[in-house]
Structure 1
Amino acid sequence: MGATVKAPLSGQEVAKHNSRESCWIIVHGNVYDVTEFLDGGSKIILKYAGKDATAEYDPIHPPNAITDNLPPEKHLGPVDLGTVQKVEVKITDEEKARLERFKSRPPLSEILNLHDFEAIARRVMPEKAWAYYSSAADDEITLRENHAAYHRIWFRPRILRDVTHVDFSTSILGHRTSMPIYITATALGKLGHPDGELNLTRAAAKHNIIQMIPTLASCAFDEIVDNAQPGQVQFLQLYVNKDRAITKRLVQHAELRGIKGLFITVDAPQLGRREKDMRMKFEAEDPAEVSKNDKQGEVDRSQGAARAISSFIDPGLQWSDLKWFKSITKMPLILKGVQCWEDALEAYDQGMAGVVLSNHGGRQLDFAKSGVEILIEVVEKLGEKRGLSFPNEKFQLFVDGGVRRATDVLKAVALGATAVGIGRPFLYAFSSYGQEGVDAALTILHDEFEMNMRLIGARTIKEVVRGMVDASNIHTHTVAVPEDSLYRLNYEIMQSAQLRESKSKL
């Protein structure tokens, strides 16, 4: 006998389950019992209780998140969509104004640098998406320091070299790339554009750049891999699940699909407080159902998109777990989020293929040092302790955070990095212009590399060496540098708590 096929539930039946005691939602035509997710209060879930939540769910969850994380008995089966109450989408005056601004974008020919994408994105993105992408931890000091650190490094160009032909291609973990950069993992691509991370996959293929796929992508992992071109190299960024069986499944599936490197995030045992993102939750009205049940102020108003998607991450991850990772995959293992030379040395001693010197784009611990400053101490100390020189094929150093120009990348390469990860600028590019925006951003970087390689007197990446930079001020955090007006103009000053607008009783 075959398995019994469930008759579709009716919208009327689903609509009855719209409270904390019993909360059902519809996602992609299927009904799920999500009551157990309501501990501590969740405005967004209760807002869609008994209704179709697909539109709200899609931008901030991978398509398989709900099926993977809910036990099978909570999958209640399909719904007759013809009977489902439609969630009325009201276009506010603010949204109408945003759509008008979107129509007023300048042509791509007028976008001259990566700062320009950010300036346009800030004006045309939905407010929630901008808050999530641009936000960082606490006072956002590290966010700004990541960029400012590059301004304390100056070039020492070489002259009278034949730079008619310059070649800035290189290898990352043995795989060729047209530039010493990769697209680093950034979550929730669909917040900025309906195609989400696929914009990055397609542009990376065109420019022969490596894309790192995020665990928390809006697109499904297999969808991203399926959209890659034959032979296109992709890496996977991994948040380690408390349930190691889930992590093992993901890692081994990624290896089976041809992923060439596993970047294990080690700087996020708990997600940082990203207040721009968190403050977005203060604006919405409470649904009646929430107000009715919010007896002790249980409604959690402080989450933001980041917290909403990250509760599965294991804070218990430790050095001894690396042996287990080696046992489940043959992919090279890289620790992403190393922030001091002692941990880089331990990673080397434990047989990792490399480390990413990174503070998570300034989104975790405020007053963490910039990746490029950590790079200098790592190169010095691993040379002193283990006799290593960099760049090093067997133990590769990567840096991310704050990069906006090819000159930033060349400074990191001169200081010993194999390559540099770039994240937010590509999000801003596709949020403003779709895949064509990412394509244009990579073209801009290509042109900047060509020009700056000539100007520093380097014909190949191997000629971009330590002697070409002066980093003597890198550790002096109070040193005066010329103001970076483009970056400052795009930086949105953090807001303090605000009085609610009072309504006149007259």
Structure 2
Amino acid sequence: MTLTGVDVAEHNSAESCWVIVHGKAYDVTEFLPEHPGGMKIILKYAGKDATDEFDPIHPPDTLDKFLDKSKHLGPVDMSTVKVEQKKESPEEKTRQEMIALKPPLSQCYNLLDFEAVAKRVMKKTAWAYYSSAADDEITMRENHAAFQRIWFRPKILVDVEKVDFSTTMLGTKVDMPFYVTATALGKLGHPEGEVLLTRASKKHNVVQMIPTLASCSFDEIMDAAEGDQVQWLQLYVNKDREITKRIVQHAEKRGCKALFITFTDEGSNVQNGEETDNSQGAARAISSFIDPALSWKDIPWFQGITKMPILLKGVQRVEDVLKAIEAGVQGVVLSNHGGRQLEFARSAIEVLAETMPVLKQMGLEDKIEIYVDGGVRRGTDILKALCMGAKGVGIGRPFLYAMSAYGPEGVDRAMALLRDELEMNMRLIGCTSVAELNPSLIDVRSLTSHGNGVPTDVLSKSVYDRLQSPAQRPKPKL
């Protein structure tokens, strides 16, 4: 039976709440208290078409997976659904003007340029989610600033006519020593979401890490891959281990080449531009399924359900790297989750500086692959990490900004710019291959001192969206 808009509109309260998504009606009444984003956002669309609100946040298979089939009410005759005329707000009018006036893509010369443009053209709530981090955002800014305390010691009179910065990651040959790391909610920035990043990764022959909290479904992202393109899975572990097992084994069956288990707290400590019922930010809300009881004792269980290489993402101290080696995993990602978790967590590059000398002293540097993410914005940042012993680096937000500002062409140019920077700076430090990068080429003495003699990063400073104190109320009119 086909429902009408009038049928659905009658169910517009917490006592009986129906919504329309992609021309089908769903009874979400019983789900209201369980919705990670709170009841308020669903009730806003009770009895109405919620498709526009649903799409940027949820993979298309969400309702099929998580809402009992008895609550799937069937198709709706959309010609009978009242179309609400959305009045363009002054804010949206200004944003559209900024989109029309945005600089040509050719004027973006580095990754921070994309961030500057994205700040002006993205919707306020989307920008708030992509750009924000925990508490005072000190850790997020330190992730980038830490790279600026590392200096090069370049070699001269080296034949650098031919430069090769290809490498291998977990046995996969890649053209550049970075991967597209997992970031949530890609459709907030572009309607195609993560599949756009899949296509760019293929073009530039780099690995894409598929996020648990993607806007596109896992299968959509896998289906967008071409040929022998390599993808990894980033996994937030569900409290229900059977669900986790199904996800992991399905990923392996579909051809994922590695499993990155992400150790984090329950949800994310992230600010957000839109209120939710639990007042804890969008990321904490959408990731509330994450198991806070996850521990070292669970690693053997994962090793028993998959043959994929297992890596631990979110390691922040050398002692845990040693535990990872002892546990028999294939790698770790040194990461503080982009500054979205614990404020005053050290940057990954600083943890790398602590880790590699210990591993070398113990003869363990070849027992595990070390990756870092957070704050990488330049080709020089990548080279510094590799000189220190990292196998590669993960880059996330810059590609979201490029995608949000310029679509697929933006991501393509962002990766091409990194390629150009890598080539130029490999020549300038006197290296022709990744194998030649080593600690003698850098000076890290300032990295852990946290002194004040750090050059000001003008581009980063101008782009940074400063936190605001509560505004004073206007004086009442007499």
Task: Name the TM-score, length of structure 2 as normaliser.
Answer: 0.96
Deviations 1:288-310 (A, max 9, x none): xxxxxxxxxxx726244323321
Query: SS at 1:236's partner residue?
Result: strand
1:300 aligns with 2:304: no
1:400 maps to 2:373: yes
1:178 matched to 2:171: no
314-323 vs 131-140, which moves further: 314-323
Contact 1:25–1:31 at 8 Å: present in 2 too? yes
Q: Structure 1 counterpart of 2:77, which letter? A: D
Displacement after TM superposition at 1:499 (Å): 4.2
Aligned with 2:324 (options 334, 347, 354): 347
The alpha carbon displacement at 1:30 in A equals 2.2
Q: Say whether residues 1:209 and 2:206 are aligned partners.
A: yes
| Candidates 403, 408, 416, aligned match of 1:430 | 403
Give the SS at the match of 1:235: strand
Q: Deviations over 1:308-329 (max 9, x none)?
A: 3212111111111111111111
Task: Give me the whole-angstrom Cα distance separating, in 1, the residues matched to 2:325 and 2:266.
Answer: 21
Are 2:266 and 2:284, in contact at CA under 8 Å, matched by a contact in 1? Answer: no
Taking the TM superposition and a 5 Å limit, the aligned residue runs for 1:321-336 are 321-336=298-313
TM-score by length of 1: 0.91
Alignment of 1:493 onto 2:472 = no
Deviations 1:156-206 (A, max 9, x none): 111111101010000000001111100001111110111111221111111
Match of 1:372 among 336, 341, 349: 349
Residue 371 of structure 1 contacts residue 399 of structure 1 at CA under 8 Å; is this kept in 2? yes
Q: 1:309 aligns with which of 266, 283, 286?
A: 286
Question: 1:24/1:501 Cα in 2 relative to 1: closer, same or farther (>3 Å)?
Answer: farther
Q: Map residues 4-153 of structure 1 onto 2, 5 A cutoff.
A: 7-39=1-33, 41-153=38-150
Q: Could you tell which deviates more after superposition, 419-428 or 299-308? A: 299-308
Secondary structure at 1:60 match in 2: coil
Please report how far the alpha carbon of residue 502 of structure 1 lies from its aligned counterpart in structure 2 after TM superposition.
6.4
For structure 1, the 5+ residue unaligned runs are: 1-6, 283-298
The residue identity in structure 2 corresponding to 1:497 is P
- 2:364 is aligned with what amino acid? L
Runs of 4+ with deviation above 3 angstroms: 499-504
Alpha-carbon displacement from aligned partner over 1:18-59 (angstroms, at most 9, x marks no partner)? 112222211122222222343395321110011111100110
For the residue of structure 2 that corresponds to 1:8, the secondary structure is coil
- Which residue does 2:456 correspond to in 1? 483
Q: Distance in 1 between matches of 2:81 and 2:476?
A: 37
Q: 1:228 aligns with which of 225, 247, 259?
A: 225
Q: 2:267, 2:285 within 8 Å by CA — same for their partners in 1?
A: no
1:334-369 Cα offsets, whole Å, 9 max, x none, are 111111111111111111110000000000110000
Matching residue within 361, 364, 367 for 1:388: 364
For residues 4-25 of structure 1, give each alpha carbon's deviation from its aligned partner in whole angstroms, at most 9, with x where no partner exists. Answer: xxx2233222222211222221
Q: Paired residue for 1:249?
A: 246
Aligned residue pairs total: 475
AA matched with 2:274 = K
Equivalent residue of 2:289, what SS?
coil
Cα shift at 1:475: 1.3
Instruction: State whether residues 314 and 336 of structure 2, in contact with CA within 8 Å, keep that contact through their aligned partners in structure 1.
Output: yes
**C-alpha deviation, 1:501, in angstroms:** 5.2
Distance 1:469 1:64 in 2: 48
- The letter for the 2-side match of 1:90 is K
Residue 198 to residue 490, structure 1, CA distance change in 2 (3 Å): same
**Letter aligned with residue 9 of structure 1:** L
Q: What is the distance in 2 between the residues matched to 1:74 and 1:368?
A: 44
TM-align CA RMSD: 1.7
Give the whole-Å Cα distance in 2 for the aligned partners of 1:416 and 1:21: 58
Q: CA deviation at 1:500?
A: 5.1
d(CA) in 1 for partners of 2:469 and 2:250? Answer: 45
18-27 or 442-451: which moved more?
18-27
Identity %: 60
DSSP 3-state at the match of 2:260:
strand
Which letter does structure 2 place at the counterpart of 1:490?
V
